[in-house]
Amino acid sequence: MRFLCGVMLAGVLVSMSAGCGQPAAIADSQEARLEQARAVTELEAAAGGYDAMLDKGAALAREGSADALVLELGRELTGDDEAAVEEVMRAALAEVLTREVWQEAVAGVYADLFTAAELADAVEFYGSPTGRKILELGNRLDDAVVTALTAELNDHGAELAATIDAGLAERFPELSTGENDA
């Protein structure tokens, strides 16, 4: 957190020295991008982003290994078994993808995709109360959006299926003529 406080304090000092309340322009170098990107990932990690990544990764790993475990064990997994597998997967991920490794990888991606000024804007926004709330609600927001979109797809399933069928029939005329019927 000291790094984040230092970045924010430095930003305030630069803004004050620039005059007229306007922040000084940030040189768009790879170093500046990485510095700002690291500040963004610090905010994300503080809001639970790293832990959420481990949780999602562990859940995906459990799902991906469940069938193989059922075959190896010769029985279905219980809820306790699934929780234990997920715990093992999370611990293994945390050993390899430490918080520092995660932050550096994410910062590298951000630095490749955004300018230093854009990343500074992100630091400013995600450092604000609203930005922190968005980060903290990340998974809940994602889940709510998925739920809302799933409801829309369910309400319009027949229309969606007809549109897909028509598009596929246009792209693959043999589908509409029944040439490949078994």
Per-residue pLDDT of 59-109, as tens digits, reads 999 999 999 999 999 999 999 999 999 999 999 999 999 999 999 999 999
Phi-psi region of 28 (alpha: psi -120 to 50; beta: other; left: phi over 0): beta
**Residue pair 33/115 in contact by the 8 Å Cβ criterion:** yes
Residue with tokens 């927001």: 141
**Residue pair 52/139 in contact by the 8 Å Cβ criterion:** yes
pLDDT band at 139 (very low <50, low <70, confident <90, very high): confident
Burial class (CB in 10 A: 0-12, 13-18, 19+), 151: exposed
Between 179 and 119, the higher pLDDT residue? 119
Q: Report pTM.
A: 0.68
Q: What is the dihedral of CA 16, 17, 20, 21, to 10 degrees?
A: -30
pLDDT band at 24 (very low <50, low <70, confident <90, very high): low
Nearest to 127 by CA among 40, 53, 1: 40
DSSP E strands in the chain: the ranges are none
